[in-house]
A = this chain, B = another copy of it.
Amino acid sequence: MAAAERLVVIGGDAAGMSAASQARRLKGPDELEIVAFERGHFTSYSACGIPYWVGGAVQDRDDLIARTPEEHRARNISLRVRTEVTAIDVAGGRVRSRDLESGAESWTGFDKLVVATGARPVRPALPGIDAPGVHGVQTLDDGQALIDTLERTKGRHAVVVGAGYIGVEMAEALVGRGYEVTVLNRGEQPMSTLDPDMGRLVHDAMNGMGITTVSGAEVTKILTGDDGRVRAVATDGETYPADVVVLGIGVEPETALAREAGLPVGSSGGLVTDLSMRVAGHENIWAGGDCVEVLDLVSGRRRHIALGTHANKHGQVIGSNVGGGYATFPGVVGTAVSKVCDLEIARTGLREKDARAEGLRFVTATIESTSRAGYYPGASPMTVKMTAERRTGRLLGVQIVGREGAGKRVDIAAVALTARMTVEQMTALDLGYAPPFSPVWDPVLVAARKAVTAVRKGGA
């Protein structure tokens, strides 16, 4: 007996397969048939874990896979890997797909559709960008290709282009592989998701670790050898030898398919959904993960943020709604945490330039403290920068650069932003205190106190 309805999912990673799994929990196979298409070989894997696999901290690729195609199939999800969806026929309620092995194309009808096509790494149109040895690291297939290159070439010099999260994590990974690593960064500082003063701390720390970090470097050309493989990276300044190049410039939502089908794309480049993750104007189409834009609860603006934790939440929400339940994704506050070797980097909320762009006036407070009581072994320095709206004192953002124990403190600010707290309210927060865990005034509280003083004085 055919199921009453068919759900088609495009994209077999976090958002798509979370949606499929959650829908399956709520509806059995005779109520809902689920067909999922994945272009690559793998499903439900942690793309965020790729740098740690490349670097060797994670030994086995399969450790990154939460659920294999076989495991999904065992849950009555019809999963087609190495099968690319090439068209969405919205009016006809069907998608066209191509088997990447055989080249065969076919149409599959849907009653409900989930678009979870993810993001793709930005590849600037530079001479040599497609040379062997130049790698993106967005998918598990990408990671495998990079590892194959590393193992085959056994080079000495690695260049990472871009110094955002992926860039710094890949720098750590390549250091772990024994490479001499140069990070080329177009902007004023690494980590453009931080304010420049905090990015400067990252810059200095990375150079201190032996990672050559060059800011203000515009890559002009990828130079290749006689064998056609990458040899060096030329910038508007120097040229850097490279046996391997990793692109960590950032990602952009993969929306070509959806655009062609007429689905709405916002100014961020991501698909536009409502709070239930349904594509605006389409009753039976949902979208989630790295291909959509999300509401930034602090600025009220829609942004594109590619992050596994959001993708999983989107999938959960979509699956609940597809399965006849009710759930929403209210938005984000822009939290991110990362590390490069033992340096922890975290941020949430608005940067100064974001606040300025929204017409907000603000004050900032930057403090130095330690992750544990100063006298406790392992207490490590950390810098916390806090931004608050002038007059109202509403928290606008927090950035943290430090060592062990620094990064996850950003969660305090993430919850406070969600609750729209003022920095004055934050000074009274009852945070966990014991000498192995925190100074008697948690660094976030110290920053809040200083921000209160700044708000009282006015300024900015």
Contact = CB atoms under 8 A, between A and B. Distances in A.
A337 B418 CA distance: 24
Interface string A321-333: 0000000111111
9 contacts: A46-B440, A58-B377, A58-B435, A307-B433, A312-B441, A334-B430, A414-B432, A415-B415, A415-B421
Interface in A326-369: 328-339, 344, 346, 348
B330 A440 contact: no
List the 9 closest A-B pairs by CB distance, nearest first.
Answer: A419-B419, A337-B432, A309-B433, A63-B375, A415-B415, A335-B430, A332-B430, A333-B430, A49-B435
B57 A377 contact: yes
B64 A346 contact: no
A410 B440 CA distance: 16
A334 B431 CA distance: 9
Contacts of A416: 415, 419
A449 to B, nearest CB: 8
Copies of this protein, total = 2
Contacts of A338: 434
A30 to B, nearest CB: 24
Interface size class, chain A = 35 or more
A145 interface: no
Given A409-B408, A411-B411, A433 B308 contact: yes
Nearest to A435: B49
A412 interface: yes
A28 interface: no
Contacts of A333: 430
B432 A335 contact: yes
A373 B47 CA distance: 12
Interface in A15-54: 46, 48-49, 52
Interface string A298-331: 0000000001111011000000000000001111
Contact of A430 (B348, B440, B442): B348
Interface of A: 14, 46, 48-49, 52, 57-58, 63-64, 165, 169, 307-310, 312-313, 328-339, 344, 346, 348, 373, 375-377, 405, 407-412, 414-416, 418-419, 421, 425, 427-438, 440-442
Nearest to A407: B437
A385 to B, nearest CB: 16
B432 A407 contact: yes
A440 B308 contact: yes
A46 to B, nearest CB: 6
Contact of A376 (B49, B405, B412, B434): B49
